[in-house]
């Protein structure tokens, strides 16, 4: 045991191991920041370079990339309002406003710190509780997935920026968009109008880029051009002790949410970032600051999406089943190296597993260090005038939309959603509910119908499964809590007078 | 003043002359160049990750190693394979774009989701095949396909049975078992093959139809028991798993993975591709890979491969009509 631990340590800390982690982190930040590339494409790009490396070394390179890409997604989300990965969508909400206020370094610093803390939370969960948590993942059947989706929908109200009715309207739009594509139960295309590009549904990241990034270009185009100077000094980039004290609880709770949702196959960062954001907002004493550059609004989703890395590795290692698109690619890489992921690895090749665990921990540290070193650089090249910014966003968005599937059709989708997003923003409709409903719509619909197929039409299946019952009760509670708490407050006041 | 002109005019003339000369030297060389003249695009019609992508990547790696050809893997997912197929159709028929595709081609064409026919495709070789299997959790009282059929006969719709996709290969195989065994069962569709073993392990479905590799770790550890496998003879990889056939049910079909090029590709180029694939399949590393992934080698090429695909399309269409997925 100790011997394997030491030899695993040697693999990680010998020059080659550290070099691979550094390369993985640098490439990861880059692919994360480029919309359309992302962690899974990043890994496929690097697979050919790993053929001559040992499996443990290849794993170090690839997981470092995965971890850093989840942070990298926030860089473009903050600087150019373009989420680089779909799990960075929630980071746009407060990251971009904070940048607009003139604190890009500050926003990036919070994101980097939160990503590191969240990443560590996920890794610790992976190292200590992989087996019991994997058993938990098995308990989630279709009714429980449905209930999680429902629970996710309760966050729509708080994501609606003070206008729940408008929030609800756009959420319905998102749900409607989610029905486009091949019907998960009957297997036939719905509302695809014969466009084979739509068979797999409206591509999510493409929509995201349109709604958040392109619509921002139109907003910029309308504004009077200003060549704002960023007054921020570079010393702001490391968080002060006071900020750490304020933000650490948010980061840890975001990390826990991310880990748990990362474990559940098929849920992951896209949903975790919004739920973590919602939690942070609800627990905040100043929820009105959210959406205007609140530090907690950056810390929570960023901690959550990095924590999903450790979380998603749990079913991969403990069950041999990938829980996310990125772990599916990672599993492919392992198989190409002649290794079948699964629980038997813990006894057959413990050295590699230990090297992976140590490597993940080291990679979070390296990510923090390298991230800090590159921060001033990012912040400086991005402190450009609005006219340059607008052009940069257009280029990044269209290239990103195209790279994802190499389809020109996707560029039109981005353009469509850019215009739609602009119109909606003009009428002060909030954006997040559409995005959230699009992710959750499929989860809710397919699992609701699958559950009913399983129970042959009986709705009691949603109450009989304990996990589903818990989440349904939680959803109802969260939905009605604001009304109940207001009632209680009113009654207290009236009884006092 | 023309300040954007970076190269003096005289130099431009020289440059043009040089380029013309070079082209004249190179062009005839190219015409006689050996196949492949450039990078071979290996277009996988599914996304990264997953069994087909792994097969495509390993094949590309091995072709580079064995033949010293440059290969590049591209994922072209979407439209149940249509996106990948139409990409290959948009490229010249010169053998530089390979399509990596699977037996779901039959389902796609039978349902009208893929707007191409087998005439558009030059089938080259099927290199991997995987049967489906009837899988239960280790604590299930069912020990054989017979047990399953008997139970379902006594309790119609009594067990929750499911598998990957709706109206696809696995449901087609269960449908055949239903017809032969004379029972009725529902179908719980799953949107990814990895979720099938998870739902079996978690007890959310009582039995699943799945390729053994989708839950390989559980099958090997015994947490999932396979009651029957859809092969003519027992698999050399899983010798303890009985076939459907030896238990009296005529279920013998596999989901294949293979290579194709655009129809109209010159035969001498196809022959060169075949020779390359021969070399790959003969290598020790490829055999090791097939063993690790528990893949059968269907040994089907050219006309025979095409005939199999056409047979499957016919059978699938028949099933989809009977099961009410498509109208007659």
A324, A335, A409, best to mutate vs chain B, most B CBs in 10 Å: A335
pLDDT digits (tens, 9 = 90+) for A22-45: 999 999 999 998 887 889 888 988
**A41 to chain B: nearest residue by CA?**
B48
Using pLDDT thresholds of 50, 70 and 90, give the confidence band for residue A235: very low
Give the CA diameter of chain B: 94
Average pLDDT value for chain A: 87
Residue linked to tokens 């190219």: B30
Chains A, B: CB pairs < 8 Å: 153
Give Cβ neighbours of residue A487 (< 8 Å, ≥ 6 apart): none
Query: How far is Cα B155 from Cα B162, in angstroms, rounded to an integer?
Result: 17
Strands B254-262 and B97-102, bridge-based pairing: antiparallel
Contacts of B112 in chain A (CB under 8 A): none
Q: Is A474 on the interface with B (CB under 8 A)?
A: no
Give the CA diameter of chain A: 78
Q: Is B217 in Cβ contact with A341 (below 8 Å)?
A: yes
Q: What distances in angstroms separate CA B249 from CA A158, B132, B163, B229, B253, one per listed residue?
A: 57, 14, 19, 10, 12
pLDDT of residue B13: 61
Of the candidates B49, B111, B221, the beta carbon closest to that of A332 is on B49
pLDDT digits (tens, 9 = 90+) for B84-117: 898 999 899 999 999 999 998 998 898 888 889 9
Using pLDDT thresholds of 50, 70 and 90, give the confidence band for residue A135: confident
Contacts of A141 in chain B (CB under 8 A): 199, 202-204
pLDDT exceeds 80 at position A187: no
Q: 10 Å Cβ neighbour count for A313? A: 29
Residue B166 backbone zone (phi > 0: left; psi -120 to 50: alpha; other: beta): beta
Q: Is A189 in Cβ contact with B205 (below 8 Å)?
A: no
**A324 to chain B: nearest residue by CA?**
B49
pLDDT digits (tens, 9 = 90+) for B275-299: 999 999 999 999 999 988 888 899 8
**φ, ψ of residue B253 in degrees (nearest 5):** -160, 150
CA A77 to chain centre: 12
Of the candidates B49, B57, B198, the beta carbon closest to that of A331 is on B49
**Closest residue by Cα to residue A166 from A214, A174, A475:** A174
Using pLDDT thresholds of 50, 70 and 90, give the confidence band for residue B17: low
Average pLDDT value for chain B: 88
- Rounded to two decimals, the ipTM of the complex is 0.81
| CA neighbours closer than 13 Å in the CB half-sphere of residue A345 | 28
Query: What are the residue ranges of helices labelled H in chain B?
Result: 9-31, 51-67, 82-90, 104-110, 145-154, 169-181, 195-201, 216-221, 267-282, 284-292, 302-322
Q: 10 Å Cβ neighbour count for A304? A: 40
Using pLDDT thresholds of 50, 70 and 90, give the confidence band for residue B25: low
Average pLDDT over residues B116-133: 94
The whole-model pTM stands at: 0.83
Average the pLDDT over each of A345-349, A418-422, B54-58 and give the range with the smallest value: A345-349
Using pLDDT thresholds of 50, 70 and 90, give the confidence band for residue A231: low
Q: Is A40 in Cβ contact with B83 (below 8 Å)?
A: no
């Amino acid at each position: 045991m100790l011997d394997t631990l030491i030899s695993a340590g040697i693999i990680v800390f010998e020059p080659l191991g550290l070099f691979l982690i550094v390369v993985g982190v640098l490439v990861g930040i880059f692919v994360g920041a480029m919309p359309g590339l992302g962690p899974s494409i990043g890994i496929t790009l690097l697979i050919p370079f790993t053929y001559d490396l040992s499996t443990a070394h290849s794993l170090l390179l690839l997981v470092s990339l995965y971890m850093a890409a989840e942070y990298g997604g926030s860089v473009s989300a903050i600087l150019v309002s373009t989420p680089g990965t779909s799990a960075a969508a929630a980071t746009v909400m407060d990251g971009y406003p904070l940048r607009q206020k003139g604190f890009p370094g500050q926003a990036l610093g919070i994101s980097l710190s939160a990503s590191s803390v969240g990443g560590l939370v996920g890794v610790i969960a992976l190292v200590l509780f992989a087996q019991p948590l994997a058993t938990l993942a098995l308990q989630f059947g279709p009714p429980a997935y449905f209930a999680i989706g429902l629970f996710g929908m309760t966050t729509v109200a708080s994501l609606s920026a003070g206008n729940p009715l408008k929030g609800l309207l756009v959420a319905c739009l998102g749900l409607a968009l989610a029905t486009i594509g091949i019907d998960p139960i009957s297997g036939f295309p719905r509302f695809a109008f014969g466009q084979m590009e739509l068979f797999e549904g409206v591509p999510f990241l493409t929509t995201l880029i349109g709604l958040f990034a392109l619509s921002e270009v139109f907003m910029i185009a309308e504004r009077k051009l200003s060549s704002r100077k960023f007054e921020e000094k570079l010393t702001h980039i490391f968080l002060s002790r006071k900020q750490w004290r304020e933000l650490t609880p948010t980061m840890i709770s975001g990390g826990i949410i991310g880990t748990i949702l990362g474990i559940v196959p098929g849920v992951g960062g896209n949903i975790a970032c919004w739920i973590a954001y919602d939690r942070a907002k609800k627990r905040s004493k100043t929820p009105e600051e959210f959406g205007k550059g609140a530090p907690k609004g950056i810390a929570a989703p960023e901690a959550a999406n990095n924590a999903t890395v450790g979380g998603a590795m749990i079913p991969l290692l403990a069950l041999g089943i990938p829980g996310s698109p990125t772990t599916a690619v990672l599993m492919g890489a392992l198989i190409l190296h002649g290794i079948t992921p699964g629980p038997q690895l813990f006894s057959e090749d413990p050295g590699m597993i230990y090297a992976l665990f140590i490597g993940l921990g080291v990679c979070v540290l390296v990510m923090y260090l390298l991230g800090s070193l590159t921060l001033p650089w990012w912040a400086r090249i991005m402190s450009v005038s609005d006219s340059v910014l607008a052009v940069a966003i257009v280029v990044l968005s269209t290239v990103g939309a195209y790279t994802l599937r190499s389809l020109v059709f996707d560029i039109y989708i981005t353009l469509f959603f850019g215009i739609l997003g602009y119109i909606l923003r003009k009428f002060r409709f909030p954006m997040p509910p559409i995005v959230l409903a699009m992710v959750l719509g499929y989860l809710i619909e397919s699992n609701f119908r699958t559950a009913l197929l399983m129970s042959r039409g009986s709705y009691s299946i949603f109450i009989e499964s304990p996990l589903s019952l818990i989440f349904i009760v939680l959803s109802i509670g969260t939905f009605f809590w604001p009304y109940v708490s207001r009632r209680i407050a009113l009654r207290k006041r009236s009884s006092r007078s | 003043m023309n300040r954007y002109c970076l190269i003096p005019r005289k130099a431009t003339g020289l440059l043009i002359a040089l380029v013309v000369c070079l082209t004249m030297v190179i062009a005839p060389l190219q015409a006689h160049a050996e196949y492949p003249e450039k990078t071979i695009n290996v277009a996988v019609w599914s996304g990264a990750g997953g069994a087909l992508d792994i097969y495509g990547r390993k094949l590309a790696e091995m072709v580079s190693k064995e033949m010293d050809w440059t290969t590049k893997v591209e994922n072209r997912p979407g439209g149940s394979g249509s996106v990948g197929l139409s990409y290959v159709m948009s490229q010249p028929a010169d053998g530089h774009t390979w399509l990596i595709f699977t037996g779901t081609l039959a389902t796609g064409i039978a349902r009208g989701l893929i707007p191409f026919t087998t005439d558009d495709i030059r089938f080259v070789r099927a290199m991997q095949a995987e049967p489906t299997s009837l899988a239960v959790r280790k604590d299930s009282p069912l020990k054989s396909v017979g047990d399953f059929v008997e139970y379902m006969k006594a309790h119609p719709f009594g067990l929750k049975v499911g598998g990957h996709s709706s109206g696809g290969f696995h449901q087609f195989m269960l449908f055949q078992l239903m017809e032969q065994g004379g029972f009725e069962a529902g179908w719980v569709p799953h949107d990814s093959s990895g979720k099938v073993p998870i739902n079996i392990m978690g007890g959310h479905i009582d039995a699943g139809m799945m390729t053994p590799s989708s839950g390989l770790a559980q099958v090997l550890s015994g947490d999932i028991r396979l009651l029957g496998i859809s092969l003519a003879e027992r698999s050399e990889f899983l010798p303890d798993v009985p076939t459907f056939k030896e238990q009296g049910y005529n279920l013998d079909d596999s989901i294949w993975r293979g290579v194709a090029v655009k129809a109209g590709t010159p035969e001498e180029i196809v022959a060169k591709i075949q020779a390359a694939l021969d070399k790959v399949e003969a290598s020790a590393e490829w055999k090791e890979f097939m063993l690790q992934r528990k893949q059968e080698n269907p040994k089907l090429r050219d006309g025979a491969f095409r005939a199999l695909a056409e047979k499957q399309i016919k059978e699938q269409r028949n099933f989809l009509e009977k099961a009410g997925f498509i109208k007659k």
